[in-house]
Structure 1
């Protein structure tokens, strides 16, 4: 359930920045690289800054959480890794649309970089909760394995990847619809959802102990 919730949040945040922040993508770095190249070619310097720093902050988030996970070696690192994204979404919901995009999108990219690195498996199966290309590919490979070899493991994996992809798409849809009503405050929904996930995870860890 946590994996699907995080996939929902990934789609939600990307739709939020795409609509309200000059078509910027928080997690889809392939798209950002393409957009950055186009921006450079057309000399759109303001947008280029946003793409560039989004890319750098996403990488930085991956590096930071990888470093902390090795140094601290604590089960609490994983749930607490949601804090940067929670705080970023909380603060950004107060910022007007006139706030420069390069002050809004990169902090979200940092949080998503941390989140997608910390939560990289669902039921022991590798997945990504912030973009869907890899999940779609792995899902189709799993479906292929099931159809031709009738492997129950492949069938289970295929269903999981399908559910993850649908959760991501549903998050993007909900974000786009809610933005019509709530505008910049739409991002606060992620603060609530991720806080609930983090607290639930911490509760389960404490209960296990």
Structure 2
């Protein structure tokens, strides 16, 4: 008999659907670390570099050194995301992007098991590592560069696209505006969800972020975006 089922969305690495899920995770993690780990933002390293310089300038060398581990963890994540692209490693993994999603899930699940009493630096290092993996591996939205764990660059792109779309009447830029608006909105929703769940559940709320990544992992397809049709019923 003919297939009467609907199509199943397939999330390619540059699809807006995957971007929505990853941006939600990015917002969630920022809210999670800020609330549960004394006002720390672990996704971006600009603050860590600035604070390291401030502490060092004030002669607070011990405190300055505390900002080095998350920076190194971020760099390690970037290196790993590049290493998995080496042809023979990439071939062994079948889908290196899927492998990165699995690694992210594992790290976040482990963080959820860590006791609340553990030093903040341990959690910060883990989140920085996850953030860098995600940034380095999933950095295209359709054909445009974007960031799923920070919004500064996305806001710049959104504003630029808005000008070109609504002042210059560029239809391609209108599409870019719509997609980046959705990504930023998803980041905000993720932050709201992270705030609510971390406040009421505590440090194990991070497992929700793992759950979102599991959804992305299930729906993700390594090939370029398309709509997969389910098997025809006989």
TM-score normalised over the length of structure 2: 0.80
Does 2:130 correspond to 1:111? Answer: yes
Runs of 4+ in 1 over 6 A off after TM superposition: none
Aligned to 1:2, which of 4, 7, 18? 18
> Which structure has the larger Rg?
2
Aligned to 2:198, which of 146, 155, 179? 179
Alignment of 1:155-194 (within 5 A): 155-194=174-213
| CA distance in structure 2 between the aligned counterparts of 1:42 and 1:132, rounded to whole angstroms | 33
Map of 1:18 onto structure 2: 34
Alignment of 1:68-147 (within 5 A): 68-71=84-87, 72-74=89-91, 76-147=95-166
> Which has the larger displacement, 115-124 or 152-161?
115-124
Post-superposition offset of 1:45? 3.3
Post-superposition offset of 1:150? 0.5
Post-superposition offset of 1:131? 0.3
Does 2:168 correspond to 1:149? Answer: yes
Distance of aligned partners of 1:35 and 1:22 in 2 relative to their CA distance in 1, 3 Å threshold: farther
| CA distance in structure 2 between the aligned counterparts of 1:158 and 1:123, rounded to whole angstroms | 12
Q: Deviations over 1:98-154 (max 9, x none)?
A: 101222211221122111111111222211101000000011111111123201110
Map of 2:50 onto structure 1: 34
Q: Which runs of 5 or more residues in structure 1 are unaligned?
A: none
The structure in which a higher percent of residues are helix is 1
Post-superposition offset of 1:202? 5.0
Map of 1:67 onto structure 2: 83
Post-superposition offset of 1:94? 1.5
Post-superposition offset of 1:13? 0.5
**Root-mean-square deviation over aligned CA pairs:** 2.2
Q: Deviations over 1:163-193 (max 9, x none)?
A: 1111111111111111121001110101111
| CA distance in structure 2 between the aligned counterparts of 1:201 and 1:27, rounded to whole angstroms | 23
Does 2:214 correspond to 1:198? Answer: no
Q: Which runs of 5 or more residues in structure 2 are unaligned?
A: 1-16, 230-234
Q: Deviations over 1:31-83 (max 9, x none)?
A: 2222333344372835x444321111111111111121133345610121112
Larger relative CO (CA 8 A, sep 6+): 1 or 2?
Answer: 2
> Which has the larger displacement, 144-153 or 134-143?
144-153
Residue-pair matches, total: 206
